[in-house]
Amino acid sequence: MEKGMNRREFLKATAATGAVLIAGDLLKGGTLFAQGSVKIPESEKITITIITDNYFDFFRPNYKIAIRHGRRPSWPDTFLHAEHGLACHIETIVDGHPHSFLFDFGIDFPGVSRNMELLNINFERLEALGLSHSHYDHFGSLVEILKSKKEKIPQGIPFYVGEEFFLERVGRLPNGTIFSTGYLKREAIESLGVAKIVEIKDPTPIVPGTYLTGKIEMVTEYEKGPNFLVKKGDKIERDEIIGEQSLVFNAKGKGLVVLSGCAHRGIVNTVKHAQKMTEVKKVHAVIGGFHLTGAKPELIQSTIADIKAIGPDYIVPTHCTGYEAITAFAQAMPNQFILNTVGTKYIITQ
């Protein structure tokens, strides 16, 4: 199949059906989780580019699968923007065909947009957009990106979200006052006429070679989720973040690659969910936010113990993992640990 047609057909199918199940050579037998294992097509190459994150180190050298955004001519102009947010560009090659999409969008539009330019993100080749969860540090710049790139992003591009993404998230002050922490509004996306919202519950292909997890099962005793709140009608309830999505890849000859946004439902739960849904035990890399910032030492140590038992070749904590947990991973898994920095490309080949 010719590459351009491959991408167009995938976009057409996903926009029309929500990509619950797409037959044919693009996904090679993918099945719903409820019906058995999900067979993710193997990728000959996976490239995960960190558009923005909490930390930028201009002098950090390349290391193993991590290719850094280093010195360039007129080097002060190449400094990247860092923030308490996360945004990623993903590329896969499956059966010789390239595919690309964006996953999470950070907070600050000027900074994120400039990073996208410096990192040469090609919007015309995007096949999908995905959001891990509806917290502001992951969707803050989304609407402005869609506005500014409206002429370049393919019309009708699918935008994948999980359950309860458009509910209002709130907080409670010590005096009991409820305040809004911001939320993604459906009409803000639909009014632009660029992206088609696709709400999912089950493991779902976002592009060939990559699946969204669907609802992540919580199986560990210690990963209970954060004490966040959500507004449902007139009621304020604990937010279970049931729609949180992570990404799962199948690297040819290497095993699974799991990319999380924040892993509010637990990074160990997330990886175990990926193993169960694919029936693939081998994990090559775990990358993303682990939401362990400010966590008690025993929670951090339990998480590390279970990740070590899973045995990934690489562990890359980002974003909301927190200093204590990041340094603990570095000490406990020195041969697998990679320090993330903004602009890093993680390149995994067969």
CA-CA distance, 227 to 291, in Å (whole number)? 12
For residue 340, CA distances in Å to 17, 46, 227 come to 36, 17, 27
Q: Six-digit token pair at 319?
A: 């974003």
In the prediction, which pLDDT does 48 show? Answer: 99
Q: What confidence tier does 71 reach under pLDDT thresholds 50, 70, 90?
A: low
Please give the model's pTM, rounded to 2 decimal places: 0.91
For residue 280, CA distances in Å to 213, 248, 254 come to 14, 11, 11
Q: 241: closest CA among 291, 277, 305?
A: 291
92: number of Cβ within 10 Å = 28
The string of pLDDT tens digits covering residues 188-231 is: 999 999 999 999 999 999 999 999 999 999 999 999 998 999 99
Q: Which residue ranges form the domains of the chain, and what is each CATH number?
A: 3-246+341-349 (3.60.15.10)
The string of pLDDT tens digits covering residues 251-292 is: 999 999 999 999 999 999 999 999 999 999 999 999 999 999
